């Protein structure tokens, strides 16, 4: 930022990386985003593979916690099959990250104690 002005942002669309999005859900636990590669004219780009993302949420005392993960799949059937394992991995990673943050917070609290010399 110069002189209090907003930085210049490039809003150019990457026309070589376009996807059409479909959403698939079981209205219970699973939500899968199916990203289908398309060309500039909207036709399917068969030279690129589709992408699948799994989404779900956990309930916590503080409210819903979103989980998402890339599903390494080539078809919707494969994406649904690996959804449970992928969400478990995402949950484990989230819990590990939360535990590290809690440990750091606890360490900061411990570091802030006043130490009196001679005691």
pLDDT the model gives residue 3: 66
The residue with greater pLDDT, 27 or 104, is 27
Would residue 24 count as lying in a domain?
yes
**pLDDT tier at 102 (50, 70, 90 boundaries)?**
confident
Question: Which whole-number Å values give the CA distances from 98 to 55, 83, 92, 110, 112, in the listed order?
Answer: 19, 22, 10, 18, 21
Would residue 48 count as lying in a domain?
yes
Q: How far is CA 72 from the centre of its chain?
A: 14
Would residue 4 count as lying in a domain?
no
The residues, any chain, with a CB within 8 Å of residue 61's CB and separated by 6 or more, are: none
Exposed, middle or buried: residue 80 (CB in 10 Å: 0-12, 13-18, 19+)?
middle
Would residue 1 count as lying in a domain?
no
The mean-pLDDT minimum among 3-7, 22-26, 48-52, 111-115 falls in 111-115
In tens, the pLDDT along 19-54 reads 999 999 999 999 999 999 999 999 999 999 999 999
Would residue 89 count as lying in a domain?
yes
Q: Measured between alpha carbons, how far is 60 from 85 in angstroms, rounded to an integer?
A: 21
Would residue 27 count as lying in a domain?
yes
The residue with greater pLDDT, 53 or 4, is 53
Nearest to 50 by CA among 30, 72, 69: 72
**44 is in which domain, residue-wise?**
18-110
Would residue 115 count as lying in a domain?
no
The number of folded domains in the chain is 1
**pLDDT tier at 66 (50, 70, 90 boundaries)?**
very high
């Amino acid at each position: 930022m110069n002189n209090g002005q907003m930085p210049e942002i490039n809003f150019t669309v990457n026309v070589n990386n376009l996807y059409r999005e479909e959403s698939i859900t079981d209205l219970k636990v699973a939500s899968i985003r199916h990203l289908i590669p398309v060309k500039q004219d909207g036709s399917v780009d068969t030279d690129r593979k589709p992408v699948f993302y799994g989404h779900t949420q956990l309930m916590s005392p503080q409210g819903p916690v979103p989980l998402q993960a890339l599903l390494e799949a080539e078809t919707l059937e494969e994406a649904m099959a690996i959804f449970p394992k992928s969400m478990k991995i995402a949950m484990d990673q989230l819990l590990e990250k939360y535990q590290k943050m809690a440990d750091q917070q606890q360490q900061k609290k411990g570091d802030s104690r006043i130490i009196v010399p001679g005691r």
